[in-house]
Structure 1
Amino acid sequence: MEELLDKYLIANATNPESKVFYLKMKGDYFRYLAEVACGDDRKQTIDNSQGAYQEAFDISKKEMQPTHPIRLGLALNFSVFYYEILNNPELACTLAKTAFDEAIAELDTLNEDSYKDSTLIMQLLRDNLTLWTSDSAGEECDAAEGAEN
């Protein structure tokens, strides 16, 4: 799977949307592996996931609108990675809240085709924020939200 993504799909992606999509897929793949990996394998798997997500995130911030469904989906999955794999609720909440707020600010730029997809993902971001702030780790999310206001 990794070879297919790296050698063919990511390497031959000709537009930012495709590249971000495939890098997100790579991040997701390694995130799923990290859920069951142990020891040094787990650390390497986490590093691979974080590297792919970060590269995709950097490209998406430069090349895509905050309301783009692929960018929002990446923010959703990357924030879940921070919360579930790295056990970092503060970063997870900050990432999710920033993505949500940036998308809300540009909601009027959405075209009809993307509206449903984007608003669905925005709701999932909001749902995660609500869940994470009600967890025992809620203090970290509340602190992250307070810093943004």
Structure 2
Amino acid sequence: MPVSHPSRVERLFIAELAGEAERYEDVVSEIKAIINENDGRLTTDERNLLSVAYKNLTNTQRNSWRTIDGFEKHQAARTSGSATRTLVLIRQQRDRIERELTGVCQDIVNLLDKQLVPAANAGEETVFYSKMKGDYYRYLAEFAHKKDRERYAELSLNAYKTAYKHALSTLEPIHPTRLGLALNFSVFYHDVRKSPERACHLAKSAFDDAVMTLDSADTIMEQTLRDALMILQLLRDDLILWSGEMQN
């Protein structure tokens, strides 16, 4: 008896089930199958599942990298002269995490470049995917070695610029995707470009534009308003933190 392939609805169910079980590699596998079977077109639910899966995969690895990097710096501060065996072992583990993290980031960037972005509708979908590109190039820039860091930073900047330009012309200032983009783009300026001034300028501009739109909040869907307010709070927190850095 021939084995039937899962339908799109069944694949989405499997992906949702895998997400509940925190099996994010399985989520990615199912959504990739949907992408391949539907010419790169995803529903909002499918797109969000893919985004959450890659976010969780990279968050775990980024946290691991920071932990090992901290151990290495602590050990190096205690060691004089040539590298000790302990330092060598720490660096080997850090290199392994870097290879795994690079693989995941490049995987989603390739998926975006080759299938998702070309098939995206103008407006929110294009902004969402371009923002994702900026995010994962930013992650690569955070831990890359010097020769690659600037290249990834430039690729991240270009993706964020493309997303932001499109967002300004197609999305309302209070739209959660536009606000989320402003939040992450400002983090790029702060963390990668080491420019709290630019980060504050971008965050404050997005914050002020959105707050001005709140006068018409009665016409905004409740869930959209809730999401927007949550991001506005994050923007406000960052503005307070970064402004304090500049004053100090």
Identity %: 49
**1:142 paired residue number:** none
Say which is worse superposed, 56-65 or 106-115, in terms of deviation: 106-115
Q: How far did residue 109 of structure 1 move?
A: 3.0
1:78-117 matched pairs, under 5 angstroms: 78-110=185-217, 111=220, 112-117=222-227
Instruction: Quote the offset at 1:39 in angstroms.
Output: 1.9
Aligned mate of 1:128, from 238, 244, 248: 238
Residue in 1 that maps onto 2:181? 74
Matched position secondary structure for 1:73: helix
**Aligned residue in 2 for 1:144:** none
With CA pairs under 8 Å and 6+ residues apart, which has the higher RCO, 1 or 2?
A: 1
Flag the structure with larger Rg: 2
Amino acid at match of 1:59: H
Deviation (angstroms), 1:108:
2.7
Query: Which AA in structure 1 matches 2:247?
Result: G
Q: Give the paired residue count.
A: 138
User: How far does residue 21 in structure 1 lie from its aligned partner after superposition?
Assistant: 0.3
Cα distance in 1, alignment partners of residues 233 and 181 from structure 2: 14
Query: What is the match of residue 56 of structure 1?
Result: 163
Q: Under a length normalisation based on structure 2, what TM-score does the superposition of the two structures give?
A: 0.54
Question: Residue type of the partner of 2:149?
Answer: R
Q: Which residue of 1 aligns with 2:229?
A: 119
Consecutive unaligned residues in structure 2, runs of 5 or more: 1-107
Deviations 1:71-90 (A, max 9, x none): 00000000000011000111
CA RMSD across the alignment? 1.1
Name structure 1 gaps, 5 residues minimum: 140-149
Q: Does 1:46 align with 2:153?
A: yes
Q: Could you tell which deviates more after superposition, 126-135 or 96-105?
A: 126-135
